[in-house]
Amino acid sequence: MAQADLTEFIQPSAVIAEEHQLRRALGPVNLILIGIGAIIGAGIFVYTGTAAAQHAGPAVILSFVIAGFGCLFAGLCYAEFASMIPESGSAYTYAYATMGRFMAWFIGWNMVLEYLVSAAGVSSGWSGYFGSLLGDFGIHLPAAFMGPPIAGNGLGNMHLTGAIINVPAVALIVLLTTFLVVGVKETARFNGIMVMLKVAIVVAVIVFGLSYVRMEHLTPFIPPNEGHFGKFGFSGILAASGVAFFAYLGFEAVSVAAQEARDPRRDIPIGILGSLGICTVLYMLMAVVMTGITDWRTLDVPSPVSFAVSKIDGLKWLVTPINIGAVVGLASVVFVSLYGQSRVFFSMARDGFLWPQFASVHKQFHTPAYGTIVVGTFAALLAALFPFDVLADLVSIGTLAAFIAVCAGILILRVTTPKARRQFRTPYVWFTAPAGIFVCGVMMISLGWATWIRLVIWTAIGLAIYFAYGIKHAAPSKWKVANEA
């Protein structure tokens, strides 16, 4: 068959071996819930208050708009890729289709930061909310088993906390890993229940809290800069957008489910854009409520939502439901992160970059059980020892690099294969994709030199694995997008 006759993508073999096939069981509603499950978590329950108190004040609403636009631009590019290459692996697979093996490995390795490290860190944060919720019912567990033994962000200020091991965080990861091994459809139903519960609580806070918003708390809307970049003023809005960006992480996790979607060319774009749009509206409304019902300067606390609500007599009844929502919300984020990482490893192993065991599928459950267990083990180990802020910036910078690669890949395909079949086309692509590259690039730069040093170290480890194993075993470029006849 001539190259010009190919309408989609081709593989070296006509079909993927049966032992590497995943069950197609997810529809658009499942995928939107996966996206919402990944997005609504630490961002809405923790970082909204942090960004307001430390950087932007009430103008944190604008920070969410900036970060949302960056994610929207990248999301539109993700959606086009997903409609053309309906395979698991997300940005890794898309980079492989357009930029070759080395860039595919680089992006795939960075995605470990987004999924595995994020799962470990968020589960550590979940442990704190879980302990707070138990305290609401008069149950107090020993502090030595409720937190990580190591704390401190940065390269030189690590210190011991006195704790022994974060037992709740480890237990959460073990439980969710078990669910993921048993079956994705069953786990998707479980995730759907968690997502609906936490969204219901978020909506309740917004609906009941809006009537208590006071204009004096929102004035001045943009607090004057205090003489340092990122400390309020316009620079504070930009700095807070980096924090707000973390709140959106996870929407592209929908695309790693492409091989398990019933109609991936239609459903993956719906899942990406639907979850991103719903969460953007919820974030902005929550920011209005949190900064409008109390003094935003007081919101730099571990649980800012319940803290703000507790200051209003008519809303105190929401404190316990909020803690429940936070526990459920963070748990669903950990679930989607573990799910995403196991599927990225599945795709990389199928292409020869990792050991073939990661691409094996359980005969009974039809899930990548080996890779899921390995991912869960490493995530549990990290969660047992470290808090999230040790690697929080690395999670963001790795994700931003993946976003930039996806935006660049779409431009490459528009030049090399302009007539390829696209069930979804990124609108105004020559503005949207460069805008995504620019916004994500600015947020990368704002993360600071220490984060870049960590990224260099992390990349060096990845390159060692690539040249020791991946480059010797990786198959030739697998996905080829061609023009229609």
pLDDT digits (tens, 9 = 90+) for 110-161: 888 778 888 887 888 788 778 878 887 888 888 888 877 877 654 456 677 7
> What would the two tokens of residue 163 be?
């704790």
Reported as a pLDDT band with limits 50, 70 and 90, residue 170 is very high
Q: Which residue has the tokens 């990661």?
A: 358
**Which of 451 and 426 is assigned the larger pLDDT?**
426
- Listed in order, strand segments (DSSP E) in 25-152 are 150-151
pLDDT at site 413: 86
Reported as a pLDDT band with limits 50, 70 and 90, residue 8 is very low
pLDDT at site 185: 59
Q: Tell me which residue of 84, 20, 71 sits closest to 435, measured CA to CA.
A: 71
Task: Inform me whether the pLDDT recorded for 186 exceeds 70.
Answer: no
| Per-residue pLDDT tens over the stretch 223-234 | 888 877 778 888
pLDDT at site 5: 33
Q: Which has the minimum average pLDDT: 42-56, 241-255, 300-314?
A: 241-255
pLDDT at site 435: 94
Task: Inform me whether the pLDDT recorded for 416 exceeds 80.
Answer: yes
Chain mean pLDDT for the chain:
79
pLDDT at site 42: 67
pLDDT at site 85: 73
Reported as a pLDDT band with limits 50, 70 and 90, residue 438 is very high
| Per-residue pLDDT tens over the stretch 20-61 | 455 666 777 778 877 787 777 767 777 777 788 888 889 888
| Per-residue pLDDT tens over the stretch 80-123 | 887 777 665 567 877 787 778 888 888 888 888 778 888 887 88
Instruction: Report yes or no: 117 and 390 within 8 Å, Cβ to Cβ.
Output: no
Task: Inform me whether the pLDDT recorded for 6 exceeds 50.
Answer: no
Task: Inform me whether the pLDDT recorded for 323 exceeds 80.
Answer: yes
pLDDT at site 307: 82
Task: Inform me whether the pLDDT recorded for 13 exceeds 80.
Answer: no
Task: Inform me whether the pLDDT recorded for 274 exceeds 90.
Answer: no
Residue 393 has a CB neighbour count (10 Å cut-off) of: 21
> What would the two tokens of residue 276 be?
């991103």
**Spatial distance between the Cα atoms of 117 and 46, rounded to a whole number of angstroms:** 18
pLDDT at site 392: 65
3-state secondary structure of 227: coil
**Spatial distance between the Cα atoms of 308 and 301, rounded to a whole number of angstroms:** 10
pLDDT at site 411: 93
Quick one: average pLDDT of 312-317?
87
pLDDT at site 430: 94
**Spatial distance between the Cα atoms of 453 and 365, rounded to a whole number of angstroms:** 41
What single letter denotes the amino acid at residue 283?
Y
Residue 457 vs residues 101, 348, 399, 462, 468: alpha-carbon distances, Å:
21, 21, 16, 9, 17
Task: Inform me whether the pLDDT recorded for 10 exceeds 50.
Answer: no
For the entire predicted model, the pTM comes to: 0.74
Task: Inform me whether the pLDDT recorded for 303 exceeds 70.
Answer: yes
CATH superfamily for 3-481 is Amino acid/polyamine transporter I (1.20.1740.10)
pLDDT at site 173: 94
Task: Inform me whether the pLDDT recorded for 1 exceeds 50.
Answer: no
Q: Which has the minimum average pLDDT: 198-202, 260-264, 368-372, 412-416?
A: 260-264
| Per-residue pLDDT tens over the stretch 189-224 | 666 777 788 888 888 989 999 989 989 888 888 988
**What percent of the chain clears pLDDT 90, i.e. is strictly above it?**
9
